[in-house]
Amino acid sequence: MATMAQAVRMALHYGETHLGVTDVFGEDVGPPLGGVFTATQGLKTAWNSPLDERGIIGTAIGLALAGQRPVAEIQFGDYIFNTIDLLKLAGNTCWSSMGQYNLPMVVTTIVGAGIHGSIYHSHSFESMAAHIPGWKIVLPSRPIDAYGLMISALKDNNPTLYMYPKALIRVKGKDLIPGEPADERELKKMIDAPPGPTLYDIIDVRSRWEPRWPEGLTDYQVPIGKARIHREGADISVITYARHVFMAEKAAEILKAENGIDVEIIDLRTLYPWDRETVFNSVRKTGRCLVLNEDTPVCNFGEHIFRTIVDECFYELTAKPRVLAGADVPGVGLHPAYEEASIPQVNDIVRELRGICGEAP
């Protein structure tokens, strides 16, 4: 099965051949590298930009104003912060011009911890991003969703922030993407650029390389704004996304085995506009919930979900809902002891879930 990097690449290929994508650009996005996480290898519209995030976002806005359909990559979410006022401008362009201009642009960036990325390769950005109205914001956890959400983002006429989790970028999926060859070695041969021991070799080998794209790729879409029930359960709802979907799954298995507690896991997939109906239905069913993510805790995006759940489902709750987020510290430190103390781990999730379930109604 395809990894998330391969899924994104295939979706972008579909976009540039079927959906009018004109530019896929950013730092090291074009040949020979095709992105530091390989998500843009082999794309015909991919090009290398100057090392300049403001120029990347500004140019994407300009291209979109001129009727193009750009996809701009910020190499790491950690480096998107100096573009926030440009992101705000992109978000208010349609509104402030009374609908005259809209920006069909996608900004991609990789976020979160989990690869020993230390202080500047571990940031989350979703809580910041959610403060920028006018954008749609997605953050898939599985390759198939990564593909389907990218197709939806490319078709959308509004600016879409497409984040993906660093820790999951190389994880293979469990579901075949429509059109993907069944044999993953075959896929690798077709669309992964050949490696080389040094950059010089890579440049040389890849100057002669062309990808062979799977023929049957489709416009399989995951609609923006639709969550997914990752695991059905009756006793408690975990509202999460990205890497913590799978950490919650591990916690759920422990709770099932040790306590007989049946955990439901909702993978939001889209953070804005988020799927209120799926979340409320789950919470109303179980009466208990934990909102889970790894961003820092003050003005955390999960607090917004939490508050909305309290507003909408208060009388159906049987226990106090909770938020489990990252630690209130300035960064994720390199040593695993730092990272584990900063980012919710499986045992933290187990503890929280037990706590909530142990509360008498």
Partner 1 sequence: MDKELKVKILDLMIEARCMEERMVKMSKSTDGFFWLGGVGEEAFNVPLGLLAKKGHGLDYDYFHFHYRNGATMIALGMDPADELRQMHNRITDPFSGGRNFCNHYVRKDWNVVPVTSTIQTQCSVAPGTARAQKRHGGDGITIVTFGDAGTAEGDFHVGLNWSTLPKWELPLLWICTNNAYGISTPYNEVHGQEHIANIAAGYGIPTKVINGNDVEESYNALKEAMDYCRTERKPYYLEAMVSRLHGHSSSSGANRVPDGSEADPLHLWIDRLVKEGVIDGDYFEKKYTEHTEHMKDKLAEVRKEPAPTAADVFKHIYAEA
Q: Which residues are catalytic?
A: 121
Distance CA 93, CA 122 (A): 30
How would you label 154-191 residue by residue, b for 16+ Cβ within 10 Å and e otherwise?
bbbebbbbbbbbbbbbebebeeebeebbeebeebeebb
- Of the pair 25, 37, the CB lying nearest partner 1 is at 25
The residue written with tokens 């300009």 in the block is 62
Whole-number minimum distance, CB 190 to partner 1, in Å?
A: 29
The helix (H) or strand (E) run that includes residue 27 is none
Indicate the pairing of strand 106-111 with strand 160-165.
Answer: parallel
Q: Is 286 in the site for partner 1 (CB under 8 A)?
A: no
- Of the pair 98, 298, the CB lying nearest partner 1 is at 98
Within residues 5-24, the interface with partner 1 by CB under 8 A covers: 22
Within residues 150-179, the interface with partner 1 by CB under 8 A covers: 157-158
Distance CA 211, CA 42 (A): 6
Q: Is 224 in the site for partner 1 (CB under 8 A)?
A: no
- Of the pair 92, 318, the CB lying nearest partner 1 is at 92
Within residues 70-89, the interface with partner 1 by CB under 8 A covers: 70, 85-86, 89
Q: Is 57 in the site for partner 1 (CB under 8 A)?
A: yes
Taking residue 94's Cβ as centre, other Cβ atoms within 10 Å add up to: 17
Cα of first residue to Cα of last residue in the chain, in angstroms, is: 44
Distance CA 228, CA 50 (A): 38
Q: What is the DSSP letter of 106?
A: E
Whole-number minimum distance, CB 68 to partner 1, in Å?
A: 5
Taking residue 344's Cβ as centre, other Cβ atoms within 10 Å add up to: 24
- Given the rule CB under 8 A, which of 61-69, 139-147, 166-174, 297-305 is the region that contacts partner 1? 61-69
Q: Is 60 in the site for partner 1 (CB under 8 A)?
A: yes
Q: Is 66 in the site for partner 1 (CB under 8 A)?
A: yes
List % helix, strand, coil for the chain (3-state, nearest 5): 40, 15, 45
User: What is the token pair recorded at 34?
Assistant: 């095709």
- Given the rule CB under 8 A, which of 56-64, 237-245, 300-308, 322-330 is the region that contacts partner 1? 56-64
Within residues 89-118, the interface with partner 1 by CB under 8 A covers: 89, 93-102
Taking residue 120's Cβ as centre, other Cβ atoms within 10 Å add up to: 11
- Residue 25 DSSP SS3: strand
Q: Is 194 in the site for partner 1 (CB under 8 A)?
A: no
Whole-number minimum distance, CB 83 to partner 1, in Å?
A: 9
- Given the rule CB under 8 A, which of 26-34, 58-66, 302-310, 321-329 is the region that contacts partner 1? 58-66
Whole-number minimum distance, CB 157 to partner 1, in Å?
A: 4
Judged by CB under 8 A, the number of residues near partner 1 is 36
Distance CA 97, CA 95 (A): 5
- Given the rule CB under 8 A, which of 53-61, 251-259, 284-292, 321-329 is the region that contacts partner 1? 53-61
Binding region for partner 1 (CB under 8 A): 22, 50, 52, 54-55, 57-68, 70, 85-86, 89, 93-102, 133-134, 136, 157-158
